[in-house]
Every structure is written in structure tokens, then in C-alpha cells.
Structure 1
Amino acid sequence: MRIIKDDLTGPEIKALLQSHLDDMYATSPPESVHALDVDALRQPEVTFWTAWLEDDLAGCIALKTIGSDHGEIKSMRTTENARGKGVASKLLSHLTAKATESGLTRLSLETGTEAFFEPARNLYKRDGFVECEPFGSYALDPNSVFMTKTLLR
């Protein structure tokens, strides 16, 4: 598997991100959907990576810098064909390494409370994330779980 910094112009990634947004709106109330669209992922404070198995898109992940030492994980998604193959774990490890290299000391994320999000919550827990209070501009929301992790240098 190769992981590359992506410019979000390929049709495969646009389709995966649209599928991600569709699932978020099908699963959570609109006011509880915090997923970013392609334009928001192209902002300077966001770095976006894709994972590829041969020539096939396998998944994506983004890091949004929200403070001098704090980053937020956004747009974590794997394709149907890549699920269960360790792609999400490798993307998360890649993002964590890049965040540490860039001087961040904390990573946080927001995910849903619904059963649909249970695999993601379990992945984050296995990686050392713990539940926390809302961070940044987030507010308490019964449909959101907030998690954070301190990065070791």
C-alpha cells in the first residue's frame, strides 16, 4: 500500500468523499454532520492523504491544524473493497507520524454515536484515543463523540 499527499482532483477521491458525505447525512441529523466537502479539504490548514492498493483507491484521511500544537482528524474513510485490510490503521499511523513531525502534540476528532460509527470509535480507542470534552468550535451534541490523544515526540 502506498500513501500519498493528494490534491483532491481525481474522480475516485471525489466519489469516495461524496459517498462519505452521503453516509454522514443518512446516519446523523444535518446539524450533527461535521464532515468536510472537497472545497473545505483544500484549505491551507488541511493536509489530505489517500491510500492506494496497486492502482485502486483504498481510503483517505485528513489533518486539519486547529492550533499551534493541536490537529484534528477529518475525512477518515476506506473504500468498501479495502475494509478489513488494515488500511484505516495504516492511514491513522501515517497521519500521526506526520502530525508529530510537524510539531503537533495533540490530535483530536469528532465522530458519531450511532452504531455505524462503532468500528471507527474502536479503531481510535485501540490507537490510544480517549473520550474528551468538545474542542475547537464544537459544542456538546448527543450525536457526537469527541476523542483526543497526546502525541509523544
Structure 2
Amino acid sequence: MDIRLDTLDRPQVLALLREHLDSLAPTAPAESRHALNLDGLRGPDVTFWCVWDGPVLAGFGALKQLDPLHGEIKSMRTASTHLRRGVASHMLQHLIGEAGARGYARLSLETGAMAFFEPARNLYAAFGFAPCAPFGDYRPDPNSVFMTKRIGAMVNHQA
């Protein structure tokens, strides 16, 4: 599997993004759904990657810069043809690595609190993300779970 930067103009990428957004619609009220749409993913503070399995789109993920030391994972999705084949882990590892390369001290995310999102929460926890308070422009929401992970070359200097 190969991860590549993407410009969000290929039909298969747009179709998977539509599927992603449509699948979230029944999970929470509109004000509690924070996945970025096409315009949001094309924002200057967002970088978008696709995972390709040869010529087949296997998934995607995005990284949003909140400030010079803090990034946010946005819109991770695995294509239904590639579920349970390591695509999400591969993308998450890539996003963590990219955040570290950018010098972020912290990488955070928002995901749903409902059972639908339990596999995602378990994946993030397995990669060291822990629950946290809302960050950035988020506010407390019973439909949201906020998670964060310290990354980069942070050293604890205790005497």
C-alpha cells in the first residue's frame, strides 16, 4: 500500500468522501458532526493523503494545523473493500509521523461517542491517544470524544 498526497479531484476519492460524509449523517445531529467537507479538506491549513492499493483507493486521511505546535487528524476513512486490512493503522502511523516531522508537540482528534465509532476510538487508543478536553474551536458535546497524543522530541527535564 502506498500513501500519496492528493488534490481531491479524482472521482474515486470524491466518491469515498461522499460515502464517508453520508455514513456520518445518521450518527449525530448536524451540529455534532465535525468531518470536513470537500471545501474544508481543500483549506490552506489541511493536507490530504490517499492510501492506494495498486490502482485501487483503499482509504484517506487528513492533517489540519491548529497552530505551529498542534495538529488535528481529520476525516480518516477506509474503503469498504479494504476494511480490517491495516489501512487505518497505516494511515494513522503516517499522520503521526508527519505531525512529528512538522514539529508538532501534540496531535489531537475528535470522533463520535456512539457505538458506531468504537472501532476508531480503539484504534486511536492503541496508538497512544488518550481522552482530553475539547481543543481548538470545539465545545463540550455529549456526541463527541476528544483525544490527544503528545508527539515530537518533548523531553521531561525533572531535577
* TM-score, normalised with respect to structure 2: 0.95
Q: State the Cα distance separating 1:39 from its structure 2 match.
A: 1.0
Instruction: Confirm or deny: 8 A CA contact 2:103 2:152 kept in the other structure.
Output: no
Q: CA RMSD in A?
A: 0.6
Partner of 1:128: 128
Partner of 2:28: 28
**CA deviation string 1:20-76 (max 9, x = no partner):** 111111211111000101111011100000001111000000000001100000010
Q: State the Cα distance separating 1:13 from its structure 2 match.
A: 0.8
Partner of 1:105: 105
Cα distance in 2 for partners of 1:27, 1:142 equals 12
Partner of 2:71: 71
Cα distance in 1 for partners of 2:93, 2:60 equals 12
Q: Larger Rg: 1 or 2?
A: 2
* TM-score, normalised with respect to structure 1: 0.98
Alignment of 1:93 onto 2:62: no
Partner of 1:2: 2
Cα distance in 2 for partners of 1:74, 1:19 equals 15
Off by >3 Å, runs of 4+ in structure 1: none
Q: State the Cα distance separating 1:87 from its structure 2 match.
A: 0.4
Q: State the Cα distance separating 1:141 from its structure 2 match.
A: 0.3
Cα distance in 2 for partners of 1:26, 1:32 equals 11
Work out the number of aligned pairs and report it.
Answer: 153
Cα distance in 2 for partners of 1:82, 1:26 equals 23
Cα distance in 1 for partners of 2:68, 2:97 equals 17
Partner of 1:148: 148
3-state SS of the aligned residue for 2:36? coil
Identity %: 55
3-state SS of the aligned residue for 1:124? helix
3-state SS of the aligned residue for 1:19? helix
Partner of 2:47: 47
Q: State the Cα distance separating 1:152 from its structure 2 match.
A: 3.2
Structure 1: state its 5+ residue gaps: none
Cα distance in 1 for partners of 2:105, 2:85 equals 28
**CA deviation string 1:4-32 (max 9, x = no partner):** 01000001111111111111112111110
Cα distance in 2 for partners of 1:140, 1:24 equals 19
3-state SS of the aligned residue for 1:66? strand
